[in-house]
Amino acid sequence: MPVHRSGTTRRRRRLTLAGTLLAALSLLLAVPASAADTPARGTAYMGMGVRAHDGVHGKPTPDAAATQTEGVDVSSHQGNVAWTTLWNSGVRWAYVKATEGTYYKNPYFGQQYNGSYNVGMIRGAYHFATPDTTTGAAQAHYFVDNGGGWSRDGRTLPGALDIEWNPYGAACYGKSQTAMVSWIRDFLNTYKARTGRDAVIYTATSWWKQCTGNHPGFAQYNPLWIARYASTVGELPAGWAYYTMWQYTSTGPTVGDHDWFNGAYDRLQALALG
């Protein structure tokens, strides 16, 4: 005789199947969402993690007693930059992303680096550090070989090491504070050996405390470029009594990332000349 299943049994089977399908769908949706949170390698830029990790604490106001010289920093996100517009607005210097890790070169570097120079700006190049991929020395060589060098022409700033939150994973790139300090030293020593200049260090105080233990040992030779979107520059990393540059906003006119050089134009020229 045929077995007749009750309506209750059929309902249970349908509910079980529906629950299984819902769980599978949730899993499928979760994987792409997680992947989407991690940007593609090479897309990092100066200050990428500042708003998310350090926050925005009011509108920046320069010290009335100090002279500040306006600058900008750019990467491939800006594409071809309107340098004449920036020059006419009072911007007098620029830093351009040249490289990241040992795997990425900015495809807009030529237009940005030479374009800023051609309108009269003093310009430099920066490297986005990824200490979890290769050594500091390897990345310094890659940087110098791909636009991060220096020349004594009075219009070229020393290269900058952009060391901040890891956009691709753990904030400190999986390194201990001691290992991070060693990696940074490796990069800086190699850069100086290649160019004769001490590189600028770009960072945020909160990241520096977390990932280097607030190491004070680079302040004597390496100019500080501090990132903080606030009414004042706030606390500086240990060792530095003053900042050389301040990235004060990511929402400025024309390109977004705007900076102040802590001094008059002739002091900016002095930094370029070394």
pLDDT digits (tens, 9 = 90+) for 144-193: 999 999 999 999 999 999 999 999 999 999 999 999 999 999 999 999 99
Instruction: Please state whether beta strands 122-128 and 104-105 pair in parallel, antiparallel, or not at all (unpaired).
Output: unpaired
Annotated catalytic residue within 73, 198, 257, 259: 73
d(CA 91, CA 274) in angstroms, rounded, equals 21
pLDDT at residue 28 is higher than 80? no
Domain boundaries, the chain: 1-37, 50-273
If one counts every other C-beta atom within 10 angstroms of the C-beta of residue 188, the result is: 20
164 is catalytic: yes
pLDDT tens for 179-208 read 999 999 999 999 999 999 999 999 999 999
Instruction: Give 101: exposed, middle or buried? Use CB within 10 Å, 0-12, 13-18, 19+.
Output: buried
Pick the range with the lowest mean pLDDT from 45-54, 78-87, 131-140, 195-204: 45-54
Q: Residue 50 — very low, low, confident or very high, per pLDDT cuts 50/70/90?
A: confident
- The pLDDT score that the predictor gives to residue 65 is 56
**Is-catalytic flag, 162?**
yes
For residues 119 and 91, what is the distance between their CA atoms, to the nearest angstrom?
A: 10
CA separation for the pair 178, 212 (Å, rounded): 7
Q: Are 186 and 207 in contact (CB under 8 A)?
A: no
* The one catalytic residue among 54, 100, 164, 198: 164
Q: What does the alpha-carbon distance between residue 223 and residue 10 come to, in Å, rounded to a whole number?
A: 73
- pLDDT above 90: residue 26: no
Residue 91 identity: V
| CA atoms 58, 60, 64, 66: torsion sign | positive
The predicted structure's pLDDT at residue 18: 46
Catalytic residue, from 54, 100, 162, 259: name it: 162
Pairwise pLDDT comparison (207 vs 67), residue with the higher score: 207
The 10s digit of each residue's pLDDT in 81-108 is: 999 999 999 999 999 999 999 999 999 9
Q: Given this model, what pLDDT does residue 62 score?
A: 66
33-42, 119-128, 260-269: least confident range: 33-42
Residue 132, φ and ψ in degrees, nearest 5: -90, -5
In the residue annotation, 186 being an active-site residue is answered as: no
Q: For residue 164, with 0-12 CB atoms within 10 Å meaning exposed, 13-18 middle and 19 or more buried, which class applies? A: buried
| CATH class belonging to 50-273 | alpha beta
DSSP label of 236: P
Given a contact cutoff of 8 angstroms between Cβ atoms, the answer to whether 104 and 42 are in contact is yes
Q: What angle do CA 17, 20, 24 make, to 5 degrees?
A: 140
First to last CA, the chain: 98
Predicted pLDDT of residue 157 = 98
**Given a cut of 90, is residue 23 above it in pLDDT?**
no
Round to whole Å and give the CA distance between 272 and 274.
6
pLDDT of res. 60: 80
Is the model's pLDDT at 55 over the cut of 70? yes
User: What is the structure's pLDDT at 7?
Assistant: 53
Model confidence, pTM: 0.86
Average pLDDT over residues 4-9: 50
Q: What angle do CA 93, 44, 197 make, to 5 degrees?
A: 45
